[in-house]
Amino acid sequence: MWGPLDLDSWMAKRREDLESVIGPVERIIDEVRRDGDKALFSLTERFDKIRLESVRVDRKAIKAAYSELEPSVVSALKEAKSRIERFHRLQLENVSWMKEVEPGIKLGVKVTPLQRVGCYVPGGRASYPSTALMCVVPAKVAGVGEVVCCTPPPINPLTLVAFDIAGADEVYSLGGVQAIAAMALGTKSVRKVQKIVGPGNVYVTAAKMLLRKEAEIDFPAGPSEIVIVADSTANPKFIAADILAQAEHDPRSPCALITTSEGLARKVGASLSKGLKVSNRQKILEGSLTNAGYLLVPNLEEAVRVSDLIAPEHLSIQCDRAVAVAAKVKNAGSIFVGHNTAVACGDYASGTNHVLPTAGYAAIYSGLDTMHFCKRSSVQSIDRKGLERIGAVIETLAKAEGLDAHARSVEVRRNEGRQ
């Protein structure tokens, strides 16, 4: 189970899982496109073994969910929401701006929230109220008018309460590919959204990618994964605990340790075996740990280089001078620096977002933040003085391109001012 990794095959497998489900996902999307609500009901009965009377969850059911939770859990959700909100509000500072860059010429950026977005929150193997917070809170902070949420039935009261605390406007009892298709295409019950965010299994991730022409997405966010960079100063129990924490999400979750210490790698393997024995999710862990192992490197510089090749969703740095090592990282969804910075802190309540690109997509995508729920417009305001400063340049370049009307649109303004 735990041993040296073949890096090339380990990395390739992350994308192979996604590619293998494209055909079945396309067929489900076509069914929703063709049959709308009828398909949503039949697909839910086929895959979730539940016959729905309505896909929309009403306010009465959401409010009733509070009575099924311990007050301490509700309080924890509210505190986590507050911390997530605080972090995402910081992201909006100075994103809209206007500045006079030279006399008579003002340039800037106007940030506008999207009007209607969809959030997908997984279910099935576990309840993910934390993901409900991570998806909905930044959308509301950004100013999105309508936040639509889908999660598989039966919906855990925890998730319903989290949706309510986060400020979700609509909740639907829909999971899997059919949920993504409903939000992207629109049906009688579920109005189309502009963008879909949130993690899911390989089927959900494939659906998001295939439906991108219908609704924009955040990024591919499939089964959870972790890479840990560590040296001999690391605690093997901490590393094993972090691996098991991510591995328990999905039997396809890949996990890797990159280390300068073979002795540490062996101790981590022993700790994993002990942790597996006491887990309540052994079957899932047994599957995911077949995708786990370690890579030995001569130094931490090489460890960072290999990590950047992997571009992991979660990167944990547990070594001496961890801050300096983190500064050299180029590709990672979220970086956890230091021995005591458990990845679970970011999963729940430090405030950073746990919806992150997986399968190497952290090399080109950023994790979920408030700007995923906004669009940007450039703004400019030019007065007579500014037009005179740049007019000749514009006219010269426009004429060089053969676009005389472009040149005249500036020339006529300059001439008017000289009369």
Residues annotated as catalytic are: 313-314
Q: Determine the Cα angle at 284 with ends 340 and 318, to 5°.
A: 20
Report the C-alpha dihedral over residues 183, 185, 187, 189, rounded to 10 degrees: 10
- CA-to-CA dists, residue 54 to 58, 151, 298, 390, angstroms: 9, 14, 59, 61
Dihedral pair phi/psi, residue 257, rounded to 5°: -110, 130
From CA 35, how far away is CA 20, in angstroms rounded?
A: 25
Residues 6+ apart with CB under 8 A from 375: 111, 112, 114
C-alpha dihedral sign at 412, 413, 418, 419:
positive
Give 377's strand partners.
Answer: 110
Strand order in the sheet with 314-318: 292-296, 255-259, 226-230, 314-318, 334-337
- Retrieve residue 233's tokens: 């100063």
Buried b (16+ CB within 10 A) or exposed e, 103-125: ebbeeeeebebbebbbbbbbbbe
C-alpha dihedral sign at 170, 54, 126, 13:
negative
**CB-CB contact of 300 with 319 (8 Å):** yes
Q: What is the DSSP string of 328-386?
A: T----SEEEESTT--HHHHHHTSSS------TTGGGT-PPP-GGGGEEEEEEEEE-HHH
Give the residue among 342, 311, 339 at the shortest CA–CA distance from 245.
342
Say which DSSP state 106 is in.
E
Question: Angle, nearest 10°, between helix axes 37-48 and 22-35?
Answer: 140
From CA 130, how far away is CA 134, in angstroms rounded?
A: 6
Reply yes or no: is the peptide bond before residue 154 cis, omega within 30 of 0. Answer: yes
